[in-house]
Structure 1
Amino acid sequence: MPVADTSQLISGVAERYASSLFELALEAGSIEAVGADLTRIQALIDGSADLKRLIVSPVFSADDQYKAISALVEKFGVSGLVGNFLKVVARNRRLFVLPGIIRAFRLLAARHKGEITADVTSAHALTPAQETELKAALKGVTGKDVAVNVTVDPSILGGLIVKVGSRQIDTSLRTKLSTLKLALKEVG
């Protein structure tokens, strides 16, 4: 019996929650503040293996997740709308889709501002100057303002992988080395 593909289901749940949060933020006129809070939450998730485990593990009860999220919200001073939203997500046992919710919210916010989003993978964290230069270069190519989501992945060794919509530009050292390896195999 084949295993069902749950990625579509998770994506749908994340998009529905993100859409609800976006509508609330739009009504409150706080899209920027909500986006900033979500960025802080994502940074906390990325920086803590324990928090990641709390979010994805079904071992924790809804009550445990709710208490942990409530403490997190209070400790880091997350705004009322995002704080309450996170508590609802925890109560509904949907914390496992939180990273997807954050991504979907960013897309909705960018679309609302007339921006497009570029997912950038870099071997090292980008400096603010590099990020500004990258945004300017992408704006020159796309003709629109570009919001950049940067992910650090040391395994690409160097360079960047930039995804804008359905287009991808891969200038990573890992890809260049793989291409060279294939070319050498064909010759030898």
Structure 2
Amino acid sequence: MTDNIIARRYAKALFSLGLEKGGDELAAYGKDLAALAEILKGSPEALKVFRNPIFGAQDKKVVIGKMMDKLAVGQMVRNFCLLLADKDRLGYLPQIQVVFAELLDAHQGVLRGSLVTAVEVPDARKEAIKQQLESQAKAKLVLGYEIDPGILGGVVLKVGDKVLDASLRAQLSMLKEQIIRGE
């Protein structure tokens, strides 16, 4: 719980700075944070260094500095990461990036979701489904596609905190419950 509060606080601070600078800067901050979070995902040793109290702020600044040099991040995100090092909060960088991305999506009117099917769907059909959902939601939609043979047929759509389970597995489960109840 505390981790989420800390991540949210820092993400909101960076987000508000980006809003003051303008939309292009805001998007650049999000891109830089996403790149740093991706590197940390691929290098759990660095994340362990950031979370280890044995290493001082200077050691952490050297490590994050090399990462930022490699990615050529902007000055504001560089200063932000150095502040995180000073406050011993670099270990929260992946969570901060997630919260920042959520804030950015909300600001831009973007919804994220996933569509699960039992079999591979052709690209043309995926695009048609996406366009139909965008017109219904009246928002831009970023849709991920997954395959799960366990749903047997149909689709499971997750957008934000809403789930539409129109899978054959769900329908069979409901039918089973009705038979058990004697309906």
TM-score over 0.5 for the pair: yes
Residue number in structure 1 paired with 2:7: 14
AA at the equivalent of 2:20: E
Match of 1:44 in 2: 39
Residue correspondence of structure 1 range 31-180 to structure 2 within 5 A: 31-55=26-50, 57-63=51-57, 64-113=59-108, 115-120=109-114, 135-147=130-142, 163-169=158-164
One-letter identity of the residue aligned with 1:82: V
**What SS does the corresponding residue of 2:31 show, helix, strand or coil?**
helix
Task: Kindly report structure 1 stretches of 4+ aligned residues shifted beyond 6 Å.
Answer: 128-134, 156-161
Q: Which structure 2 residue ranges, 5 or more long, are not aligned?
A: 117-122, 177-183
Question: How many positions carry a matched residue from both structures?
Answer: 164
Identical pairs, percent: 26
Deviation at 1:164, TM superposition (A): 2.4
Secondary structure at the counterpart of residue 93 of structure 1 = coil
The structural deviation recorded for 1:85 is 0.6
Which structure has the bigger radius of gyration?
A: 2
Contact in 2 for aligned 1:14/1:100 (Cα 8 Å) = yes
Distance 2:79 2:55 in 1: 18
* Greater Cα offset, 131-140 or 58-67: 131-140
Q: Relative to structure 1, is the Cα distance of residues 137 and 70 closer, same or farther in structure 2, using a 3 angstrom cutoff?
A: farther
Which of residues 9, 13, 18 in structure 2 aligns to 1:25? 18
Deviations 1:106-160 (A, max 9, x none): 12112222x13325498xxxxx999867753542442211245x699x9x68899
User: How far apart, in 2, do the equivalents of 1:110 and 1:74 lie?
Assistant: 27
TM-score normalised by length of structure 2:
0.68
In the alignment, which residue of structure 2 is the partner of 1:125? none
Distance 1:147 1:80, change over 3 A: farther
Q: Name the CA distance, whole Å, in 2 between partners of 1:110 and 1:137.
A: 20
Using the size of structure 1 for normalisation, the TM-score is 0.66
Which residue identity lines up with residue 44 of structure 1 in the other structure? Answer: I
Alpha-carbon RMSD? 3.7
Q: Distance in 1 between matches of 2:149 and 2:87?
A: 40
Taking a change above 3 Å as real, the CA distance of residues 82 and 111 of structure 1, as seen in their structure-2 partners, is: same
Q: Does the CA contact (< 8 Å) of 2:64 and 2:81 recur in 1?
A: yes
Quote the Cα distance in structure 2 between the aligned partners of 1:151 and 1:50. 31
